[in-house]
Structure 1
Amino acid sequence: MGQLEDMALLVRIVDAGGIGKAAEQLNMAKSAVSKRLKELENRLGTQLLSRTTRKSALTEAGSLYYQRAITIIDEVAELNALTHGVKKSLSGTLKITMPLSFGLLHLTPVIDEFSQLHPKLKLHIDFVDRHIDLLAEGYELAIRIAELKDSSLQARRLTPIRHVLCASPDFIKKHGSIETLAQLNNLDYLQYGNIGQSHSHLAQSQNAQGKVSLTDAKGKAHTVPLNTIMTANNGDFLKAMAIKGKGVCYLPSFISYQAIQAGQLVPLMSKYQLPIIHAYAVYPQTRFLSERCRLLIDFIAQRFGDKPYWDEY
């Protein structure tokens, strides 16, 4: 192995949080990763990582080497991207994470089209709603629906995510018109929730348990209490229960739009504005953005735009 590969190995060990995790990400034996690290240290004549049975930490020399290695690796990657930029087909492997419902419903056809344009590109995709540490788990890119707070990441806004408060025609027939705060107050509610800590876009866009936020035409915010009769951690399930007439449901339009188009669900509180969040492409700010990553982000952004098709109902 050359010195550039050894630099990349050290960076992977540090970013992953240890030799064991780095070995898993590289699909190598832990002993092989340890051996290569030791060979690098012997060649440099200094210890880069202080290792114990429980954790590893950069030494002072290791910290300097790590920071310079990041710069050199990114510069080489940028040079390669510029040199090969004329190529029409991408190659290599792109490891991505994306939310389950949004990914399956809307990113699947986009990824399919992109992969047809770049048949040599290998994609490793995880559909998960939990928050993932990109560096620690070896991901190059994440698609997230949230209001971002992690300053260690760079992000590009892809498309707005609007929400709909809706119910079935049968539910509305039973309870009457639902267009005022008084009419909405304390109706049966299908709540997004999770027993554990949740990073879901639904959970982040709602207020406390059994409450929804709306803004009137004058810009005044209102919080309305509802009677939570069912809680689930999946928006597609909640949509199905709402169609069955179980209660009022608060859903992103990318989940509810087809049911609304088919007349299975009816939007409520049309004179009020619900919170809008966004879908982002997120990647570590300490890394050069690869050409394959940049082109996929551009491709997704162009397909969805500021007025995505799921808001046309």
Structure 2
Amino acid sequence: MRLPDFEAWAMFACVVEHRSFSAAAASIGVSKATVSKAVARLEVSLGTTLFHRTSRRLALTDAGQSLSERAARILAEAQGAEEQARDAAAAPTGLVRVAVPMSFGLAHVAPAIADFLAAHPGVEIDLTLSDAKVDIVADGIDVALRIADLPDSSLRARRLAPVAIRIVAAPAYWEKRGRPTHPADLGHHACFVYTNLPNAIWHFRQGAEEVAVRPAGPLATNNGEAMLPALRAGLGVARLPDFLVDADIAAGRLEPVLEAWTGAGVALHLLTPPGTLRPARVEALIEFLSERFRRLCQPR
């Protein structure tokens, strides 16, 4: 039986992660020639080209793209196996790449990361804040948080907490335009649109009745927090998670409506790439964030 060239697979994964033979070599601590030879060896073994190489650009071929996730998984499994085999009492060390939504990340994840780093001085965090959907495998992300009605995928997902979604506007807006008594009434209101959703439709449910509303209005943005100034100014209606609007509701700046209607099953999820073995530093962060956020958001 001919064994797989695990070293070549690992070096291929590093090149994909760093988008460069030179950067991959530096991260591993070997020469660029060693990495180049390993990838070439893998290409010969597979009978296909993995990269398009020019003097200015390095890009994956279709075959390289399809194999990159498996290569990343092989590398992660090996790293996880090595770390699990080490002394269990050893403190976690190394880099963890984390991707989180912008507003939730600033308000809640950044303080949590500060506490985690204080408790684990050997760990480094590369934190990406973006409301855009991140490909955690292709981008080399170890841990991601998403607030969504999560579809099926090959990613490992842990549901941490439900997130209440509320329909809000300024009291002055409701006084001027009238308070809706049914979700269908929102079709006649100035509704702000969250552009990161692939299908900008608001879904509602009450008992056996289900209603879908397509919002339209004067503001479209890829960040929910960016809607708040226009909301407070009485310019429209938004559908936002409670952690963004609770303070404004408590202060009387915003007023919720249609509270008897529930939306889609939105929740805070923690996602990791496929695979069962993870480095100790990643496991430590997963457990820390899971415990921190499990009861953060409660249904109303």
Question: Does TM, normalized by the shorter one, top 0.5?
Answer: yes
TM-score of the aligned structures, taking structure 2 as reference length: 0.78
Equivalent in 141, 144, 150 of residue 142 of structure 1: 144
Aligned residues: 285
Q: What residue number does 1:308 align with?
A: 296
Identity of matched residues, %: 23
Distance 2:190 2:76 in 1: 56
CA offsets, 1:126-162, max 9 Å, x none?
Answer: 1122233323322222222234446332222222222
In the alignment, residue 274 of structure 1 is paired with which amino acid? G
Distance 1:39 1:191 in 2: 49
Q: What residue number does 1:291 align with?
A: 280
Equivalent in 250, 261, 265 of residue 276 of structure 1: 265
CA offsets, 1:14-38, max 9 Å, x none?
Answer: x54xx84464466669x94354331
Range with greater deviation from structure 2 (150-159 or 165-174): 150-159
Pairing 1:251–2:249 present = no
Q: What residue number does 1:213 align with?
A: 203
Residues 39/243 of structure 1: CA separation in 2 closer, same or farther (3 Å cut)? closer
Distance 1:301 1:308 in 2: 10
In the alignment, residue 146 of structure 1 is paired with which amino acid? A
Shift of the alpha carbon at 1:39? 5.9
Residues 137/68 of structure 1: CA separation in 2 closer, same or farther (3 Å cut)? closer
Q: What residue number does 1:168 align with?
A: 170
Distance 1:247 1:10 in 2: 51
Cα RMSD, aligned residues only: 3.7
Mind listing any 5+ residue stretches in structure 1 that lack a counterpart? 194-199
In the alignment, residue 257 of structure 2 is paired with which amino acid? L
TM-score of the aligned structures, taking structure 1 as reference length: 0.75
- Check the 8 A contact 2:183/2:204 in 1, yes or no: no
Pairing 1:99–2:101 present = yes
Residues 182/112 of structure 1: CA separation in 2 closer, same or farther (3 Å cut)? same
- Check the 8 A contact 2:148/2:268 in 1, yes or no: yes
Distance 1:26 1:180 in 2: 60
Range with greater deviation from structure 2 (106-115 or 271-280): 271-280
Mind listing any 5+ residue stretches in structure 2 that lack a counterpart? 54-58
Shift of the alpha carbon at 1:191? 1.8
Q: What residue number does 1:33 align with?
A: 32
